[in-house]
Amino acid sequence: MKEYRLAAWPELPPPYQRAAYRRMASDMSHRHLTVAQLADLSGLKRIEVRHFVDMLESKGLLLERECMTQDAQFWSLRPLGGWLRRAMAGPPTGR
Within a domain: 95? no
Tell me which residues of the chain have a pLDDT lower than 70: 69-95
The whole domain housing 77 covers 2-83
Within a domain: 90? no
How high is the pLDDT of residue 73?
A: 52
How high is the pLDDT of residue 16?
A: 95
Within a domain: 93? no
How far apart CA 5 and CA 23 sit, in angstroms, is: 13
Number of neighbours of residue 67 by Cβ within 10 angstroms: 17
What are the residue ranges of helices labelled H in the chain?
19-30, 35-42, 46-58, 71-76, 78-89
How high is the pLDDT of residue 83?
A: 57
How high is the pLDDT of residue 90?
A: 65
In total, how many domains does the chain have?
Answer: 1
The CATH number assigned to the domain holding 35 equals 1.10.10
- Give pTM, 2 decimals: 0.71
Rg of the chain (C-alpha set) = 16
